[in-house]
Amino acid sequence: MGFWQDQPKLNERLNQIQEIMQAEVPRTGRFSAVLTPLTAQSGKMLRPALLVLSAGFSTSPWEVNHLAAALEFLHLASLIHDDIIDHGRERRGQPTVVRQHGTAMALYAGDYLIFLAARCLYGLEADRLPRLPMDFMGPLLEAEAEQLESRFSMEQTPAGYLARIEAKTGLLFSLASSAGFAVRQESPHDIEPMKRAGLDFGIAFQLRDDLADLSDSAYSDLREGNFTLPVIFALEEDPALKVELADLGPGIPDEAAFDRIVRRIEGTGAIRRTQAVIRDHLNRSAAVFRSHLGAEEWRHYEWMNQQLFGGYYEDQSLCEN
């Protein structure tokens, strides 16, 4: 697993989780050809990694690994449904499921992954866990529906956008951190700080992706009318930007228009303000994880943060080993 190759202990656990997922995918039938490539190309597996670190390396590996596999199946399902809504053409360097197999099969494939997640949870001791794994599903689906309805809307607020990505992205990370921590306890307690820390981490991760999209010449968020936090900040500072955004719409091919919009966004303080929000959420999450993780798990967590976020920490003491 490329991202984790310099962290062999965690890399080994994530490989075990990937093997569980591959074993759950059917060997024959219509879904075999659709789902097998998804589990062969694992991505960074950040949510399972956070779950393993929150649980601790020595905690019930079978239980933790199956819980992490369920979480990653749910994440994959959400990606497929995202690509249907956003007309995604590429995911992890490969054509998306909807592009290869069509909308109907992609819908069924996403539903099948949710079924596989439930199957991975079979046999786990539910009384040791917070209410899992479906507490996040209602808010996540609400957030997805809101994103769909607000496409190309320039009336969004920073607070509203942050609330949406908290549900859309943050809750899966929150589930990872709180579930892992709950498994580590003799009886679940004190998981609220870990829930919040995972949420903060997930929000920071989504905002990182939002900034990356503005640096990508594909401009996929802008093309689909998903106006992210830096765009919303830029509209606050440069109301005239609304004129150019109003000319966008589905299928607009004008590459120069996107370049102009991004240059105007960069000419405001929107990028800096978004980076400040990322930094705030990262520092809050790091403070909790440092106090709740073991020393070995913290070192892996800190390494992951440095790889993903570089110098975003405001309090550099949080990054020291």
User: Mind listing the pLDDT tens digit for each residue in 1-14?
Assistant: 689 999 999 999 99
Q: Do residues 17 and 48 touch, judged by C-beta distance below 8 A?
A: yes
For residues 149 and 103, state if they share a domain: no
pLDDT the model gives residue 2: 84
Residues 6+ apart with CB under 8 A from 85: 144, 147, 148
Distance between CA atoms of residues 248 and 241, nearest Å: 12
For residues 72 and 207, state if they share a domain: no
Q: Which residues of 33-63 are buried (b: 16+ CB within 10 A; e: fewer)?
A: ebbeebbeebbbbbbbbbbbbbbbbeebeeb
For residues 174 and 235, state if they share a domain: yes
Confidence of residue 131 (pLDDT cuts 50, 70, 90): low
How many domains does the chain contain in total?
2
pLDDT the model gives residue 40: 86
Residues facing residue 90 across a β-bridge: 95
Distance between CA atoms of residues 150 and 165, nearest Å: 13
For residues 210 and 314, state if they share a domain: yes
11 belongs to a structural domain: yes
204 belongs to a structural domain: yes
Mean pLDDT of 187-205: 88
pLDDT the model gives residue 247: 79
CA distances (Å), origin 272, targets 58, 176, 230, 266: 40, 29, 9, 9
For residues 62 and 190, state if they share a domain: no
229 belongs to a structural domain: yes
pLDDT the model gives residue 252: 61
For residues 303 and 163, state if they share a domain: yes
CATH of the domain at 268: 1.10.600.10
Distance between CA atoms of residues 64 and 69, nearest Å: 9
pTM recorded for the entire structure = 0.91
Residues 6+ apart with CB under 8 A from 228: 161, 207, 210, 213, 221
For residues 106 and 162, state if they share a domain: no
pLDDT the model gives residue 197: 97
Residue 135 pLDDT exceeds 80: no
CA distances (Å), origin 42, targets 176, 177, 190: 17, 20, 31
Q: From the centroid of its chain, how far is CA 197?
A: 14
3-class SS of residue 227: coil
Using the 3D structure, point to which of 61, 91, 124 is the last residue of a domain. 124
One-letter amino acid for residue 253 of the chain: P
For residues 167 and 279, state if they share a domain: yes
For residues 220 and 175, state if they share a domain: yes
pLDDT in tens, 202-214: 999 999 999 999 9
Using the 3D structure, point to which of 71, 98, 124 is the last residue of a domain. 124
What's the whole-number average pLDDT of the chain?
Answer: 87
Using the 3D structure, point to which of 58, 93, 124 is the last residue of a domain. 124
Residues 6+ apart with CB under 8 A from 132: 67, 121, 126, 175, 179
Confidence of residue 140 (pLDDT cuts 50, 70, 90): confident
One-letter amino acid for residue 128 of the chain: R
208 belongs to a structural domain: yes
pLDDT the model gives residue 153: 87
Q: What single-letter DSSP state applies at residue 193?
A: H
For residues 1 and 91, state if they share a domain: yes
Distance between CA atoms of residues 299 and 294, nearest Å: 9
Residue 26 pLDDT exceeds 60: yes
For residues 114 and 206, state if they share a domain: no
131 belongs to a structural domain: no
Q: What single-letter DSSP state applies at residue 133?
A: S
Residue 133 pLDDT exceeds 70: no
258 belongs to a structural domain: yes
Question: Rounded to 5 degrees, what are φ and ψ at 131?
Answer: -60, 110
130 belongs to a structural domain: no
Residue 179 belongs to domain spanning: 137-321
Mean pLDDT of 246-263: 78
269 belongs to a structural domain: yes
For residues 212 and 315, state if they share a domain: yes
